[in-house]
């Protein structure tokens, strides 16, 4: 075997070994996370369809509407980080997340109606509503369509569209890669990016890495 052939063989073995190890860790992590999100939630069968949710704590009712990063589990984590104790946290999984299917009309208005229906099912007349990132759209719609159900409205980094202030994305190579990972729908691609190059994803969400480094790990994050 020539030296070039031997080198290529070694490279192929190294690539195959690295890929196998990465796939092992990916499947192990994915299994752990899937098991974690399969615990602690219920499903309410409403007129609009099934809505997954968690109902945790006691005190002032707080509807925690998550963004694009997760389902009810993220809603619980965000409420714990932002509000602390003294609240009864109701955290639904929005349309298309975890055990909440996507209805024919998945508009923010219909999602808001689903939020109101869930509150009614749980006998909650009024709640503090917290909408984070993409969850802000249905939070605002809930306040507009069902103002009597909203004791207070809190929007955190709201992903809202304004015709006079359009969202602009930096067309850097890192952002292009992050968009590819999202659009590909590949859990592995996203996991790999988060594991190998988390700073790319941090910048993709508009957060400066230095800001993340200066803050402790959120209580609700996976470890």
In angstroms, the CA 82 to CA 209 distance is 20
Residue 167 lies in a domain: no
Residue 197 lies in a domain: yes
- Same domain? For 90 and 180 the reply is no
Look at residue 221 and tell me whether its pLDDT is greater than 60.
Answer: no
Q: Would you give the DSSP letter of residue 128?
A: E
In angstroms, the CA 157 to CA 48 distance is 28
Residue 220 lies in a domain: no
Look at residue 148 and tell me whether its pLDDT is greater than 90.
Answer: yes
- The full DSSP string for 22-78 is HHHHHHHHHHHHHHHHTSS-EEEEETTEEEEEEEE-SSEEEEEE--TT-SHHHHHHH
- Same domain? For 189 and 140 the reply is no
Residue % of the chain over a pLDDT of 70: 82
pLDDT for res 116: 98
Residue 219 lies in a domain: no
Nearest alpha-carbon partner for 154 in 124, 128, 119: 128
Nearest alpha-carbon partner for 197 in 175, 218, 216: 175
Domain range for residue 197?
173-213
Return the number of other C-beta atoms located less than 10 Å from residue 151's C-beta: 14
Look at residue 17 and tell me whether its pLDDT is greater than 70.
Answer: yes
* Lowest-confidence pick of 11-15, 91-95, 115-119, 214-218: 214-218
Per-residue pLDDT tens digits for 23-65: 888 888 877 777 777 788 999 999 999 999 999 999 999 999 9
Continuous H helices in the chain? 3-37, 72-83, 108-121, 136-145, 173-184, 187-196, 198-204, 209-213
- Same domain? For 103 and 86 the reply is yes
Look at residue 119 and tell me whether its pLDDT is greater than 90.
Answer: yes
The answer to whether 36 and 29 have CB atoms below 8 angstroms apart is no
- Same domain? For 46 and 35 the reply is no
Residue 79 lies in a domain: yes
Residue 152 lies in a domain: yes
- Same domain? For 13 and 24 the reply is yes
Residue 1 lies in a domain: yes
At residue 182 the predicted structure's pLDDT band, cuts being 50, 70 and 90, is low
Determine the length of the chain. 223
Nearest alpha-carbon partner for 38 in 113, 108, 103, 98: 98
Instruction: Please give the average per-residue pLDDT across 184-202, as a whole number.
Output: 74
In angstroms, the CA 80 to CA 94 distance is 19
Give the Cα-Cα-Cα angle 173, 135, 29 (nearest 5 degrees). 60
Per the structure, the count of domains in the chain is 3
CATH code of the domain covering residue 68: 3.40.50.1820
- The pTM (predicted TM-score) of the whole model is 0.74
pLDDT for res 174: 67
């Amino acid at each position: 075997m020539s030296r070039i052939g031997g080198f290529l063989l070694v490279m192929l073995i190294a690539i195959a070994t690295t890929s196998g190890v990465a796939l092992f860790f990916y499947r192990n992590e994915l299994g752990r996370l899937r098991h974690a999100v399969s615990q602690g939630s219920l499903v309410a069968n409403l007129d609009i369809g099934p809505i997954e949710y968690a109902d945790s704590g006691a005190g002032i009712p707080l509807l925690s509407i998550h963004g694009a990063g997760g389902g009810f589990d993220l809603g619980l984590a965000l409420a714990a980080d932002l509000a602390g104790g003294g609240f009864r946290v109701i955290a639904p999984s929005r349309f298309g997340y975890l055990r909440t299917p996507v209805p024919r009309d998945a508009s923010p208005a219909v999602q808001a109606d689903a939020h109101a229906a869930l509150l009614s099912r749980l006998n909650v007349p009024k709640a503090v509503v917290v909408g984070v990132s993409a969850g802000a759209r249905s939070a605002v719609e809930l306040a507009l369509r069902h103002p009597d159900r909203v004791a207070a409205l809190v929007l955190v980094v709201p992903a809202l569209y304004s015709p006079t202030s359009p969202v602009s994305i930096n067309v850097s190579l890192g952002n292009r890669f992050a968009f590819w990972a999202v659009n590909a729908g590949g859990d592995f691609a996203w996991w790999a990016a988060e594991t190998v190059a988390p700073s790319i994803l941090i910048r993709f969400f508009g957060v400066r890495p230095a800001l993340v480094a200066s803050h402790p790990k959120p209580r609700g994050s996976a470890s």
